[in-house]
């Protein structure tokens, strides 16, 4: 492969269903107007964002009404737009309890999953992830609970979020079903998954990485609080591809050979359509390493 040959990734699937390379995240889905939220979610799906990522704890900020707000709203959206549920893979997460903060024992995770089902108004959750690791619950107990959720038909697939590779391996060692996903923070300014073994584990086992905050909370789009070298690199590559800096930053996440999914949470339909273009932008090896070096602030050895 030459340095100018675009990098390519394989298909992305969860629970036997193909999903788009860019997903819609519900962390900021707190607008109380269900019609506006339905328009937003439907526009995301229409441009290929067929994975919808949520969590029971979403709604404690961004103007939400509290725990469960964003799951409640997504459930309202599904009721407001019949047929939309059948077009998407619904993912949600549990295991964070404000004030504790992490609980992954059987009694809690089962009740949390059942509560998410009620809020979402669905019969089954396509992907259920442990939101953050609970080191004070043995992974064998967490695994037994996840197996139970699958056996009961409450969830189709299970995964983890914000887990280290060793935490993920420890959980998988006790599971009957295979973990489908891991959800790390990954962006042009958050490169840890490239180096801490997270993406190596995905390559080894087939775990699908779901990258949260691929635009660093929007900073890579605005340029705020980002090293000038990173912005310069992204802008140069964007000009070469005829797209925006945000699209290139998203395409950088998608370029890894483990086929990450980039979860974006814009509340603007036009911005979602723009970011969806990232799946068609194929960066070269030279371009992704230009971004890595700019992020590191030094040449690679």
pLDDT digits (tens, 9 = 90+) for 93-108: 999 999 999 999 999 9
Task: Specify if 42 maps to a domain.
Answer: yes
Task: Specify if 231 maps to a domain.
Answer: no
pLDDT in tens, 13-32: 999 999 999 999 999 999 99
Alpha helix segments (H runs only) across 47-183? 69-80, 106-120, 139-151, 165-172
Task: Specify if 237 maps to a domain.
Answer: no
Task: Specify if 233 maps to a domain.
Answer: no
- Burial label, 300 (beta-carbon count in 10 A; 0-12, 13-18, 19+): exposed
Mean pLDDT, rounded, of the chain: 96
Q: Which of 37, 210, 206 is nearest to 126 (CA)?
A: 210
Segment 83-89 shows an average pLDDT of 98
Q: What is the CATH number of the domain that holds 86?
A: 3.20.20.100
- The whole model's pTM is what? 0.96
Q: Give the burial string for 170-188 (b: 16+ CB within 10 Å, else e).
A: bbbeebebebbbbbbbbbb
- Burial label, 15 (beta-carbon count in 10 A; 0-12, 13-18, 19+): middle
The pLDDT of residue 3 is above 90: no
The pLDDT of residue 11 is 80
The pLDDT of residue 6 is above 60: yes
Task: Specify if 193 maps to a domain.
Answer: yes
- Confidence grade of residue 10 (pLDDT, cut at 50, 70, 90): low
Task: Specify if 95 maps to a domain.
Answer: yes
The pLDDT of residue 7 is 76
pLDDT in tens, 283-301: 999 999 999 999 999 999 9
The pLDDT of residue 1 is 45
The pLDDT of residue 54 is above 80: yes
| 128 included as an active-site residue | no
pLDDT in tens, 175-203: 999 999 999 999 999 999 999 999 999 99
Number of domains in the chain: 1
The pLDDT of residue 122 is above 50: yes
Task: Specify if 291 maps to a domain.
Answer: no
Domain that holds residue 158: 13-226+256-268
pLDDT in tens, 26-50: 999 999 999 999 999 999 999 999 9
Task: Specify if 238 maps to a domain.
Answer: no
pLDDT in tens, 259-269: 999 999 999 99
**Spatial contact of 220 and 187, defined as CB atoms under 8 Å apart:** yes
The pLDDT of residue 4 is above 80: no
Q: Which of 58, 102, 128, 289 is catalytic?
A: 58
């Amino acid at each position: 492969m030459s340095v100018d040959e675009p990098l390519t990734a394989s298909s992305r699937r969860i629970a036997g269903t193909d999903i788009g390379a860019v997903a819609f995240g519900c962390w900021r889905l707190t607008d109380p107007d269900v019609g506006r939220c339905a328009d937003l979610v439907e526009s995301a799906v229409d441009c290929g964002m067929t994975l919808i990522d949520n969590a029971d704890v979403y709604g404690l900020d961004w103007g939400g009404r509290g725990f469960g707000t964003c799951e409640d709203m997504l459930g309202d959206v599904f009721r407001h737009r019949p047929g939309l549920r059948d077009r998407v893979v619904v993912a949600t997460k549990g295991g964070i309890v404000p004030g504790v903060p992490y609980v992954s024992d059987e009694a809690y995770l089962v009740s949390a999953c059942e509560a998410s089902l009620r809020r979402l108004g669905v019969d089954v959750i396509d992907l259920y992830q442990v939101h953050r690791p609970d080191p004070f619950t043995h992974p064998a107990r967490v695994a037994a609970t996840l197996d139970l959720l699958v056996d009961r038909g409450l969830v189709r697939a299970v995964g983890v979020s914000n887990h280290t590779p060793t935490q993920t391996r420890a959980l998988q060692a006790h599971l009957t079903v295979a973990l489908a996903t891991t959800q790390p923070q990954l962006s042009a300014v958050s490169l840890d998954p490239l180096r801490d073994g997270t993406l190596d584990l995905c390559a080894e086992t087939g775990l699908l990485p779901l990258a949260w905050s691929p635009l660093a909370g929007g900073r890579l789009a605005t340029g705020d609080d980002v090293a000038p070298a990173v912005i310069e690199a992204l802008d140069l590559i964007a000009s070469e591809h005829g797209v925006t800096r945000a699209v290139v930053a998203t395409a950088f996440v998608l370029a890894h050979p483990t086929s990450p999914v980039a979860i974006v949470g814009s509340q603007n339909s036009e911005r979602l359509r723009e970011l969806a273009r990232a799946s068609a932008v194929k960066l070269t090896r030279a371009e992704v390493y230009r971004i890595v070096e700019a992020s590191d602030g030094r040449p690679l050895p």
